Amino acid sequence: MQTAYQIYKRKIFMRNTLVAAAGILLLLAALVVSMNTGYTKLIPSDTFRILFGGGTDAENLILYQFRLPRVILAAMAGAGLALSGCIIQDVTKNPLADPGLLGINAGAGLAVLLYVLFFGTATFLAVFTLPVLALAGAGMTSVLIYLLAFKKGEGTSPIRLILTGIAVQAGIFALTTVLVINLDETRFDFVAMWQAGSIWGSGWKYVLALLPWQMVLIPFVVYRSRVLDVLSLDSCAACGLGVDVEKEQRILLFCAVALAASCVAVSGNISFAGLIAPHMARRLVGPKHSVLLPVCALTGAVTVSAADTFARVIVQPSEIPTGIVTAVLGAPYFIWLLTRK
Amino acid sequence: MNSITAENLSAAYEDKLVVDGLDLNIPKGMITSIIGPNGCGKSTVLKTLGRIMKPRNGMVYLNGKDISRLSAKEIAIRMAILPQSPQAPSGLTVGDLVSYGRYPHQRGFGTMKPEDRKIVEWALEVTKLSDLETTAVDNMSGGQRQRVWIAMALAQQTDLILLDEPTTYLDMSYQLEVLELLYRLNREQNCTIAMVLHDLNLAARFSDHMIAIRGGNIVRYGTPEEVMTADVLRKTFRVHAEIVTDPRSGRPACISYDLIRDEGDNS
């Protein structure tokens, strides 16, 4: 005979499987639809034909060299930003937190801007150096915010972290604006597009630049799901359960910064993805991180790749920055979420 | 035999010294209650004993071992601590929260082994929560929620549990329920319990030892009969108290009290 607990466990397992399957299907749908955007139309049947080896050279080039890497990059950036947001929300116990809060976007943006200022946008090196630079900029900003919010003997409180974050960000944005004014036209365009969240990297090299970061960081944070579970309780309760709270918070926040910085380096400043995707995932599967984190990566990937597809579909054959779409769609969803609670 | 010994303990918030040079024992296998007026440092003492707060000075020994040399997990296997009205993330179920109590015993991904599951089931049963296992904690009443947190501490399977005002915000029957549960744990499982309590009569009724604290110093340490005296309560709370013996429990009880008006309060 089955106990009520076993029945419940099975129900939960079914729910999680369903959510994962739905997420993967949506991701594939976004992929198929996004193939059909731009100058050359590739309707779904064309896409399948090319994928199974029946394409002309021109079709192969478009699909494999331009569109496929772009949609994969969008999905990867979405997954990374969503995971980063989820970790930050749970560690700071602030449901309104997102990677922007820790100065990641501002710091990474400043680093990108400085690079463009000195080296331009044309160099091949930019692809692999930008994630590193973005991480350095984001890392320095987050450390600055963390230190300013740190109070001896008490650590950091969520509210102090947020207020310091807002203040430091304002300073960096001011500095960014001053620097941007002095840029020439092409560089200005690049920075403006970056800040609006345009997935500018479209080529396998950008996927390759992001891949090592995610291959290390994502398994690492999923491995720490139990620590995140306990940390999302009171910090006193977490301490009582044997978690070295300050140390684990630092490790996890560092991972969150690295995840988000590597993403924004290639995808630009995509707003709201890191804020909303974790909320969607929590509503779907609840707060246990062993399930929440993978589902969160999936909702993030679906959100950003769908937004990126949308960004290219509505003004064909041109496009608008993906970050604008996530903001336009994300803000109402978020307001709806707030009014429900 | 002492579960916890503190020597020359000092604790401070920023520059404000709350506890200064305190010596204190929590005897093994007993229920000890810490009482005292608001802001006297009783919660601070509990937090430093439970290594949630780092002492400014002095030593805390857990079963004779220097607590600052033990790892977070090593401590968590020996001692559970429940903060005052702790928070759980929304949507977390009772069963999941209680299973977090197994954290210090698990490694790596920490999949629940059958023995972990048995312990969680036991903890739910003792706290009468078995039927509520799949309920979300944030949908429960204050009394139920307190029982969930106690169940989590039980799942930790420690010989010692520290609790910071476990009866706050509970009505009188829930207060009794929580304290009777702790009493049973102590008598049946030989679990050492140390807690901060506001209600003196409940403290006297359920404790083997009481510690009265004022201004970060111990006014009196002893049995309820030794601590619940008009003299100690006058020194601790600045009140005139009328102490009688509770006819049901045989323990001292304070039936009425007044503020002391003629004596200048210069604390």
For residue B55, give the chain A residue with the closest CA: A153
Per DSSP, the residues of A65-108 read IIIHHHHHHHHHHHHHHHHHHHHHHHHTT-TT--GGGGTHHHHH
Residue A191: both structure tokens together: 């920075």
Total domains in the fold of chain A: 1
Distance from the B98 Cα atom to the nearest Cα atom in chain A, whole angstroms: 11
Burial of residue A147 (CB within 10 Å: 0-12, 13-18, 19+) is exposed
In a domain, B43, yes or no: yes
Q: Could you tell me the CATH number of the domain that includes residue A207?
A: 1.10.3470.10
B173 falls within a domain: yes
Gap between the Cα atoms of A217 and A232, Å rounded: 20
The answer to the question of residue A7 being in a domain is no
**pLDDT computed for residue A202 by the predictor:** 63
Task: Give the pairing type, strands B239-245 and B65-66.
Answer: unpaired
SS3 A17: helix
The partner residue sitting opposite B91, judged by closest CB among A90, A93, A287, is A287
Read off the tokens for A129: 């150096």
Residue B253 lies in a domain: no
Q: A286 in helix, strand or coil?
A: coil
Tell me the pLDDT band of A7, cut-offs 50, 70 and 90.
confident
Nearest residue of chain A to residue B120 (CA atoms): A5
- With respect to residue B133, please indicate whether it lies within any of the assigned structural domains: no
Does an H or E element contain B17, and which? strand B16-27
Kindly give the residue spans of alpha helices, DSSP state H, lying in chain A: 4-35, 44-51, 57-60, 68-91, 104-119, 126-149, 158-181, 185-196, 204-223, 225-231, 235-240, 245-267, 273-285, 289-313, 322-340
Q: Where in the sequence is the domain holding A226, given as residue range(s)?
A: 69-340
Q: Which two tokens stand for residue B258?
A: 């007044």
Write down the pLDDT at residue A121: 64
Q: Does residue B231 carry a pLDDT above 90?
A: yes
Question: Burial letters for B172-194: b for 16+ Cβ neighbours within 10 Å, e otherwise?
Answer: eebbbbbbebbbebbeeeebbbb
Predicted local confidence at residue A99, as pLDDT: 83
Residue B165 inside a domain? The answer is yes
For residue A152, pLDDT over 80 is answered with: no
Q: Does residue A178 sit within a domain?
A: yes
Which one is predicted more confidently, B170 or A223?
A: A223
| pLDDT tens per residue, range B66-123 | 999 999 999 999 999 998 888 888 889 999 999 999 999 988 777 788 899 999 999 9
Cβ separation B13–A153 shorter than 8 A: yes
Cross-chain residue pair B95–A241, CB shorter than 8 Å: no
- In 3D space, the residue among B187, B183, B160 whose CA is nearest the CA of residue B77 turns out to be B160
**Does A146 score more than 90 pLDDT?**
no
Please say whether the beta carbons of A285 and A119 come within 8 A: no
For residue A237, which residues of chain B lie inside 8 Å, CB to CB?
82-83, 86, 149
Between CA A232 and CA A288 the distance in angstroms is 10
Residue A10 lies in a domain: no
Cross-chain CB nearest to A242 (options B87, B104, B133) = B104
CATH of the domain at B233: 3.40.50.300
Domain membership of residue A260 (yes or no) is yes
pLDDT score of B264 more than 60: no
Q: Indicate the pLDDT class of residue A314, thresholds 50, 70 and 90.
A: confident
**Cβ A237–B82 below 8 Å, yes or no?**
yes
Given this model, what pLDDT does residue A125 score? Answer: 63
pLDDT of B267 above 50: no
Residue B254 lies in a domain: no
Output the furthest CA–CA distance in chain B (Å, rounded): 64
Amino acid at A140: M
Q: Which residue has the higher pLDDT, B266 or B163?
A: B163
**Nearest chain A residue (CA) to B160:** A240
Count: domains in chain B: 1
CB pair distance less than 8 Å for A230 and B77: no
Over residues A31-85, the pLDDT tens digits come to 888 777 766 677 777 777 777 777 777 777 777 777 888 888 889 999 999 999 9
- Mutation target vs A (from B109, B124, B165; most A CBs, 10 A cutoff): B109
Average pLDDT value for chain A:
84
A-chain residues near B87 (CB < 8 A):
93, 233-234
ipTM confidence? 0.86
Contacts of A232 in chain B (CB under 8 A): 89
The pTM of the whole model exceeds 0.90: no
| B→A interface, C-beta within 8 Å | 12-14, 47, 50-54, 71-77, 79-83, 86-93, 95-97, 100-101, 103-104, 106, 108-110, 133-134, 149, 153, 156
B9 in a domain, yes or no?
yes
Chain B residues lying within 8 Å of A152, measured CB to CB: 14
* A47 is a domain residue: no
Chain B residue numbers touching A243 (CB-CB < 8 A): 72, 103
Residue B59 within any structural domain of the chain: yes
> How far from A164 is each of A86, A147, A168, A195, A271, CA to CA, in Å?
20, 10, 6, 22, 20
Give the structural domain span for B25.
Answer: 2-88+140-237
